[in-house]
């Protein structure tokens, strides 16, 4: 028996494709392996941007630091541009050869990319080959990261107990933020306890990439010992049309996945990435205080993810997503307006954290809701590719849009931009089917 909904998405009311089972020790080990690998990949990917102020001079000869940073930032963008391609390649591989194998190759590519950055001689030694190798390393990192998130979400959704998928998928976002905080914490320790600025600039900047490569090797070891999912093993035995044809047959679900992502990706980059700059440029906090406020809010934001995920196990994915869409649509303008008028760090912290509480309704469950829309044979690709494309177009440009509005003297327009994107997704959430405990009908 199936239900027709406004989006034309059909869901099977029979037993879920990813069935419940006792959470045994191998399953826990597999979940930990998937999460640890995702944390390490995010650490490796973000370490480039965090430490670029120190290694730019090694790869680009110039007496103008701004030019060096611009060149380094341009190469950083290569990693983001490569993410949709990585999502296609890794997702396709995961659907053909298994989630375990794809995640193993993904972390291997990230390991190689990090070690290439750490070990490549500077421009003074090998000339133009230095930035060329840096581009190649960043391309590998982008391909790896592009395929990692969607495939990790698919793997965790299939390996977790059916009645607690939301709870365990919530830890996926914990690993994302943890990777960012680990990279930032390492920088603070190196700056304040271990090295001088000159030492970091000369050779110390290689340490985080060497550490990242070593951690990636550890993640590779962990992932080689995880189990393949039963859902994939069953799906591999089933005959079906070619992948591209299956994607076209599921075009409604793909559009639905994009609609789910629109407001959330803008919200994520607003409340986690842009917020720190907003606290400095608009609120007027010092850089040190804005870093402290943002870090404290992110630390409290992390444990909310499995809690919101657990709520989705009890009440459904759709109500949790609606909470995000409704709250962000109603309160983004008041929240940013209040922030713009305060100079109190405590008030700024509370308002920043309020934004992250709203965001948790999206980040905790959106990938899980998407995995439950698609059949096994195309799940990793169909989940990862729409997310990567939407994030590249909307998420990656959020900071640019915010700064352009501010430069034009109409910063409040950005508040309405965030509101409009959230409202688009809210309409999607109100019309979408509930996905908890169900699976897309095979076509």
**pLDDT, tens digit, 9 for 90 and up, residues 163-197:** 889 999 999 999 988 988 888 888 888 877 888 87
**pLDDT, tens digit, 9 for 90 and up, residues 377-409:** 899 999 999 998 998 888 878 888 888 888 888
Residue 413 has pLDDT above 90, yes or no: yes
**pLDDT, tens digit, 9 for 90 and up, residues 266-309:** 999 899 878 888 898 899 888 778 888 988 999 999 999 999 99
As given in the structure block, the two tokens for residue 284 are 């007027």
pLDDT of residue 83: 83
Lowest-confidence region among 82-91, 100-109, 225-234: 225-234
Distance between alpha carbon 45 and the CA centroid of its chain, in Å? 11
pLDDT of residue 36: 81
pLDDT of residue 337: 96
- Report residue 19's pLDDT band, with 50, 70 and 90 as the boundaries: very low
Distance between alpha carbon 259 and the CA centroid of its chain, in Å? 17
pLDDT of residue 362: 97
Task: Calculate mean pLDDT across residues 340-349.
Answer: 94
**Counting Cβ atoms within 10 Å, is residue 422 exposed (0-12), middle (13-18) or buried (19+)?**
buried
Q: How far apart are the C-alpha atoms of 117 and 126, rounded to whole Å?
A: 14
Q: How far apart are the C-alpha atoms of 129 and 121, rounded to whole Å?
A: 9
Q: How far apart are the C-alpha atoms of 183 and 179, rounded to whole Å?
A: 6
pLDDT of residue 280: 85
Q: How far apart are the C-alpha atoms of 225 and 168, rounded to whole Å?
A: 19
If one compares 20 and 247, the residue with the highest pLDDT of the two is: 247
Cβ(264)–Cβ(366) below 8 Å = yes
pLDDT of residue 58: 80
Q: How far apart are the C-alpha atoms of 310 and 304, rounded to whole Å?
A: 10
User: At 11, which helix (H) or strand (E)?
Assistant: strand 11-12
- The reply to whether 1-17+240-443 and 19-228 are identical in fold is yes
Task: Calculate mean pLDDT across residues 41-60.
Answer: 78
pLDDT of residue 228: 80
Q: What is the CATH number of domain 19-228?
A: 1.20.1250.20
**pLDDT, tens digit, 9 for 90 and up, residues 299-341:** 999 999 999 999 999 999 999 999 999 999 999 999 999 999 9
Q: What do you get for the CA distance between the two ends of the chain, in Å?
A: 14
Which residue ranges make up each domain of the chain?
1-17+240-443, 19-228
- Report residue 247's pLDDT band, with 50, 70 and 90 as the boundaries: confident
Q: How far apart are the C-alpha atoms of 331 and 88, rounded to whole Å?
A: 36
pTM of the shown model: 0.83
- The stretches of 160-205 forming alpha helices (DSSP H) are 165-189, 197-199
- Report residue 25's pLDDT band, with 50, 70 and 90 as the boundaries: low
Q: How far apart are the C-alpha atoms of 88 and 150, rounded to whole Å?
A: 10
- The stretches of 60-164 forming alpha helices (DSSP H) are 65-97, 99-119, 123-126, 129-159
Cβ(170)–Cβ(305) below 8 Å = yes
Q: Specify the CATH architecture of the domain 1-17+240-443.
A: Up-down Bundle (1.20)
- The share of the chain scoring above pLDDT 70, in percent, equals 88
Residue 347 has pLDDT above 90, yes or no: yes
pLDDT of residue 77: 67
Question: Mean pLDDT, the chain, as a whole number?
Answer: 84
Task: Classify 217 as helix, strand or coil.
Answer: helix
């Amino acid at each position: 028996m199936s239900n027709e909904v406004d989006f034309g998405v059909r869901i099977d009311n029979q037993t879920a494709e990813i069935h419940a089972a006792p959470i045994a020790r191998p399953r826990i080990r597999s979940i930990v392996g998937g999460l640890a690998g995702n944390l390490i990949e995010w650490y490796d990917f973000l370490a480039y941007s965090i430490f670029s102020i120190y290694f730019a001079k090694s790869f680009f000869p110039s007496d103008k630091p701004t030019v060096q940073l611009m060149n380094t930032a341009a190469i950083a963008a290569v990693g983001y541009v490569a993410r949709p391609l990585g999502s296609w390649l890794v997702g396709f591989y995961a659907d053909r050869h298994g989630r375990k194998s794809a995640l193993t190759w993904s972390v291997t590519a990230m390991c190689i990319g990090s070690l290439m950055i750490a070990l490549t001689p500077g421009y003074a030694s090998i000339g133009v080959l230095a930035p060329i190798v840096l581009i190649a390393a960043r391309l590998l990192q982008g391909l790896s990261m592009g395929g990692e998130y969607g495939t990790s979400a698919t793997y965790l959704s299939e390996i977790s107990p059916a009645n607690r998928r939301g709870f365990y998928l919530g830890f996926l976002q914990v690993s994302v933020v943890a990777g960012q905080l680990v990279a930032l914490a390492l920088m603070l320790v190196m700056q304040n306890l271990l090295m001088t600025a000159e030492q970091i600039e000369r050779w110390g900047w290689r340490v985080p990439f060497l550490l990242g490569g070593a951690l990636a090797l550890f993640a590779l070891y962990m992932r080689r010992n995880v189990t393949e999912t039963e859902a994939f093993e069953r799906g591999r035995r089933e005959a079906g049309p070619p992948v591209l044809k299956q994607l076209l047959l599921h075009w409604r679900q793909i559009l639905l996945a994009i609609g789910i992502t629109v407001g959330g990706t803008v919200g994520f980059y607003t409340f986690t990435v842009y917020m720190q700059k907003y606290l400095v440029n608009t609120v007027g906090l010092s850089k040190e205080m804005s870093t402290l406020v943002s870090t404290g809010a992110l630390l409290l934001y992390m444990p909310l993810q499995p809690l919101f995920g657990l709520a989705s196990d009890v009440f459904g994915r759709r109500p949790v997503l609606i909470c995000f869409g409704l709250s962000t649509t109603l309160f983004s303008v008041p929240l940013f307006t209040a922030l713009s008028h305060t100079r109190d760090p405590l008030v700024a912290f509370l308002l920043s954290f309020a934004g992250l509480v709203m965001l948790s309704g999206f980040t905790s469950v959106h990938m899980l809701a998407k995995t439950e829309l698609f059949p096994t044979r195309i799940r990793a690709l169909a989940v990862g590719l729409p997310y990567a494309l939407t994030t590249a177009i909307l998420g990656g440009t959020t900071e640019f849009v915010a700064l352009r509005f501010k430069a034009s003297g109409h910063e409040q327009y950005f508040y309405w931009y965030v509101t409009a994107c959230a409202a688009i997704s809210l309409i999607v959430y109100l019309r979408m089917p509930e996905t908890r405990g169900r699976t897309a009908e095979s076509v």
